[in-house]
Amino acid sequence: MPQDKQTNRRIVLASRPHGAPTEANFRLETGHVPTPSAGQILLRTVWLSLDPYMRGRMSEGPSYVPPVAINEVMGAGTVAIVERSDHPDYAEGDWVVSNSGWQDFALSDGKDLFKLSGPVLKHPSWALGMLGMPGFTAYMGLLDIGQPQPGETVVVAAATGAVGSIVGQIAKLKGCYVVGIAGGADKCRYAEESLGFDRCLDHRAGDFAESLKRHCPEGIDVYFESVGGKVFSAVLPLMNTKGRIPVCGLIADYNSTEPAVGPNQLPQFQGTILRKRLRVQGFIITQDYGHRFGEFFSQMSQWVAEDRFVFREDSVEGLDHAPETFIGMLEGKNFGKVLIRVAGDQP
């Protein structure tokens, strides 16, 4: 079912998942296209961004973002086109980044929009990737919390994902030795050959922990954490004194439903924090760094214009495929930044 201009398709949260989400947790609804009131803008979604943090919003429990209500449309960043505008700053045909969610049409008062112009219009979906939230997360987490120095060893989990691939490439620009961690030989080859990481290791390999140790002969100075679980357990003993661990996600734990079985690794973690004098810091990009978006966007746009980055997108056609694509992403089935191409428009 492709997008048409008479119908608004919306994917709503039908029920809260227990453990891994299933398609039954979502429901596709159709309805009328909303009509903008005074001062409002009608947006039509072209690209929809799917990101791991959305799993947290599906649960009721405390997460770092408020939960989506049952029967509410799933929230998401999008690239959209202004269909109609009663707002002085936006005109029909403008391309914007918005929070219009898993649906074809949405209204905005303009406050949450970011108008696309210049080079990013050559490739508008980049505004949801290396020039958007994932790139911003990589940039601030690595540079502000991780503070990598030339010659240091930076290890990045989910190395071929939207955030991890940018983390590693910025770390290379900063003169670091970069070891990625990814799931499967294809992703690892891509990280080494296309992204330019010094190494990329497969966390599914039986000798993963030994391999990580062998390939980090001088220990680890910065570990960019987005995964948790056994990847973290392999990284922790290799952390160097004064190491930094920015934590932007823990995808391995998002679907867990039971208390984790022992042994209790907490004392080991605390002991390592103390002995190695580590700094471990969680961050939520919009809340902690929203005021520095301009700084990021300006630097990153320049790097992108200079062709310094490789950025792989894993896009799927059609809004109705969003649930299965999202579920697959949580299982690591994606290869690159996950996007839904909701409409075929080009700037």
Q: How far is the CB of 318 from a second copy (least distance, A)?
A: 32
CB of residue 189 to a second copy, shortest distance in Å: 29
Q: How far is CA 177 from CA 145, 172, 308, in A?
A: 18, 7, 17
What b/e sequence results for 10-21 when a residue is b if at least 16 CB atoms lie within 10 Å of its CB, and e otherwise? bbbbeeebeeeb
CB of 284 to a second copy, least distance (A): 6
Q: Which amino acid is present at 93?
A: G
For a second copy, which is the closer residue by CB, 252 or 322? 252
Which CB sits closer to a second copy, 115 or 230? 230
**Is 203 in a helix, a strand, or coil?**
coil
Supply the minimum distance, in Å, between the C-beta of residue 274 and a second copy: 4
Q: Which is nearer to a second copy, 7 or 272 (CB)?
A: 272
Nearer to a second copy (CB atom), residue 155 or residue 340: 155
Nearer to a second copy among residue 10 and residue 244 (C-beta): 244
User: What residues make contact with a second copy under the rule CB under 8 A?
Assistant: 56, 62-64, 225, 228-229, 232, 247-250, 253, 256, 259-271, 273-284, 287-288
Q: Could you write out the DSSP letters of every residue in 317-335?
A: E-GGGHHHHHHHHHTT---
Residue 280, phi then psi, degrees to nearest 5: -120, 125
* Closest of 46, 135, 19, 101 to residue 347, by C-alpha: 46
Q: How far is the CB of 278 from a second copy (least distance, A)?
A: 6
- What is the spatial distance between Cα 250 and Cα 52, in angstroms, rounded to a whole number? 9
DSSP-derived letter for residue 122 is G
Residue 248 or 342 with smaller CB distance to a second copy: 248
Give the total residue count for the chain: 347
- Nearest distance, CB of residue 131 and a second copy, angstroms: 24
Residues 180-192 as b or e (16 or more Cβ within 10 Å = b) = bbbbeeebbebbb
